[in-house]
Amino acid sequence: MVGLDKRWLGEHGIDANRIAGLIPLAGHTITHFTVRAERGIEGTQPIIDDLAPLYHVRADAPPFLMITGDRELEMLGRYEENAYMMRMMRVAGHPDARIMELDGYGHSPRAAAYPLIVREVQRIEKMLDGENMN
């Protein structure tokens, strides 16, 4: 949310586009189940409102790598909502939105994701170094 909905950082005078990259791990892209519970909405009722990252799809967001566990082992629908988020980012014209599914891992597969996260940070650093050379 912080990297997609610009109002959160904007309240502090920070442009969300200054974030080098976004790497949510098994992230919610629809309205979070906590918010739905607070509103009395069943967990099986997907909601996409202004409290959902998917609501804030935009082409100018920072590089975006979503990592989820195996769609059969992950939380219900988590892989699919991330896959939809990636697709909508691309449809909106985002040039660098990707998803990685970690086969054989369940929700929040930290140990398996760490090498991917490090590699993504290194990739973004190289991109930023290239921009600074121009």
22-79 pLDDT per residue, tens: 999 999 999 988 999 999 999 888 899 999 999 999 999 999 999 999 999 999 899 9
Average pLDDT, stretch 123-133?
88
% of the chain exceeding 90 in pLDDT: 84
Please state the pTM of the whole predicted model: 0.90
62-95 burial string, b = 16+ CB within 10 Å, else e? Answer: bbbbbbbbeeebbbebbbebbbbbbeebbeeebe
Answer yes or no: is pLDDT of 132 > 90.
Answer: no
Intra-chain end-to-end CA distance of the chain, in Å: 31
Quote the pLDDT of residue 134.
Answer: 60
